[in-house]
C-alpha cells in the first residue's frame, strides 16, 4: 500500500479543482488529478506538484469510472479523500449572454429537458457514480473524507427569501442540480455516519473560473479554501454539513 494519504479530485485539470489539488499536495497527499482529457490532466498534475498524478476520469462514463477505481486500487491500494468537484453550469450559454439572460431560457415553463439532463448527469449522477465506485477504497481508509463541491445558489432556504440577491436566477438547471447534490450529500452522510467517513458539501463562493466565463469575484485560492478545510477534517469534525469559508449555510 502507498505510504502517503491519497486524494482524488474530479474535474481537477483547471479552476477550483486544480487549486484543491495543489493545496492537498502541500498538505502531504498524493493527489490524483481527475480529468476527462488525460493530456490536460497530465499538464495540470505537473502544475499541481511532484506528488500529483493525472488520472483519466469522465464522471458521466461508467467505463471511465470503473477503470479509474481499478487503477487506484492496483497502483496505490488506498484512497483517503474524494473531492467531487467536476461540474458544468450549462450546455447552451451563448457568448455574450449574461447569466440573467440565460436563466430566462431555463424557467420551469420553458426549460429544455435535454439541458437539465446534461447538467444533472455531471453534477448529480456523476457524483453518485464516482462515490459508489470509490467507496470500497474509502471504507478501508482510517479516516476517509468525501467533499462535494456545491453552491449557495442551490440553497432552498436562501432562495425562498425574497431578499436573496440571486433568487431571480434560481431554476431547474444548475441551481437545482446543486440543490440535488446537497440532498445526495446528506443522504451519503446519513448512510456512512457509523463508519467514520465524513461527508460534507462546500460552497466555494463566486469564483473566477470557466464555469461562469471568468465573471466570478473570488480567486481560485479563495474558492478552494472551504473544500480543502473539509477534506482535512479531524476526528471531531462534522458530517452532513453545508458551508462556505464564512461558516454554515442553510440547506
For residue 174, indicate whether it is catalytic. Answer: yes
Q: Stretch 227-233: mean pLDDT, rounded?
A: 98
Q: Tell me the C-alpha distance between 229 and 225, whole Å.
A: 6
Q: Which of 67-81, 116-130, 211-225 has the lowest mean pLDDT?
A: 211-225
pLDDT value of position 1: 73
Give the pLDDT band of residue 211 (cuts 50, 70, 90): low
d(CA 190, CA 22): 30
- Out of 174, 198, 206, 214, the active site residue is 174
Cell of 151: 453552491
Q: Which residue is catalytic, options 22, 42, 178, 208?
A: 178
Looking at domain 6-248, what is its CATH homologous superfamily? NAD(P)-binding Rossmann-like Domain (3.40.50.720)
Compute the mean pLDDT over every residue in the chain, rounded to the nearest whole number.
Answer: 93
> Residue 207 has what pLDDT?
57
All 3 cell numbers of residue 98? 449574461
22 is an active site residue: no
**33 CB burial (10 A radius; 0-12, 13-18, 19+):** buried
Residue 129's alpha-carbon distances to 60, 68, 84, 126, 141, in angstroms, are 8, 12, 10, 5, 19
Mean pLDDT of 32-52: 97
pLDDT of residue 210: 53
- Give the pLDDT confidence of 56-101 residue by residue, as tens digits: 999 999 999 999 999 999 999 999 999 999 999 888 777 777 777 8
pTM: 0.94
205 pLDDT above the threshold of 90? no
Q: Is the pLDDT of residue 129 over 90?
A: yes
Provide the pLDDT for residue 213: 52
Q: Please state the domain extents for the chain.
A: 6-248
Amino acid at each position: 500500500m502507498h505510504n502517503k494519504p491519497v486524494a482524488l479530485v474530479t474535474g481537477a485539470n483547471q479552476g477550483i479543482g486544480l487549486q484543491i489539488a495543489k493545496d492537498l499536495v502541500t498538505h502531504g497527499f498524493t493527489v490524483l488529478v481527475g480529468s476527462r482529457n488525460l493530456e490536460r490532466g497530465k499538464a495540470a498534475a505537473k502544475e499541481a506538484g511532484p506528488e500529483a498524478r493525472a488520472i483519466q476520469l469522465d464522471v458521466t462514463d461508467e467505463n471511465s469510472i470503473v477503470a479509474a477505481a481499478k487503477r487506484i486500487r492496483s497502483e496505490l491500494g488506498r484512497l483517503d479523500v474524494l473531492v467531487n468537484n467536476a461540474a458544468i453550469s450549462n450546455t447552451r450559454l451563448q457568448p455574450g449572454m449574461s447569466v440573467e439572460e440565460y436563466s430566462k431560457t431555463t424557467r420551469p415553463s420553458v426549460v429544455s429537458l435535454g439541458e437539465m439532463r446534461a447538467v444533472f448527469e455531471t453534477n448529480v449522477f456523476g457524483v453518485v457514480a464516482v462515490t459508489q465506485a470509490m467507496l470500497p477504497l474509502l471504507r478501508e481508509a482510517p479516516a476517509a473524507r468525501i467533499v462535494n463541491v456545491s453552491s449557495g445558489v442551490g440553497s432552498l432556504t436562501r432562495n425562498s427569501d425574497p431578499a436573496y440577491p440571486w433568487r431571480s436566477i434560481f431554476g431547474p438547471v444548475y441551481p437545482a442540480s446543486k440543490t440535488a447534490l446537497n440532498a445526495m450529500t446528506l443522504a451519503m452522510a446519513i448512510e456512512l455516519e457509523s463508519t467514520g467517513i465524513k461527508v460534507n458539501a462546500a460552497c466555494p463562493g463566486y469564483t473566477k473560473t470557466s464555469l461562469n466565463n471568468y465573471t466570478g469575484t473570488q480567486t481560485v485560492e479563495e474558492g478552494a479554501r472551504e473544500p480543502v478545510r473539509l477534506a482535512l477534517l479531524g476526528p471531531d469534525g462534522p458530517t452532513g454539513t453545508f458551508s462556505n469559508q464564512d461558516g454554515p449555510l442553510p440547506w
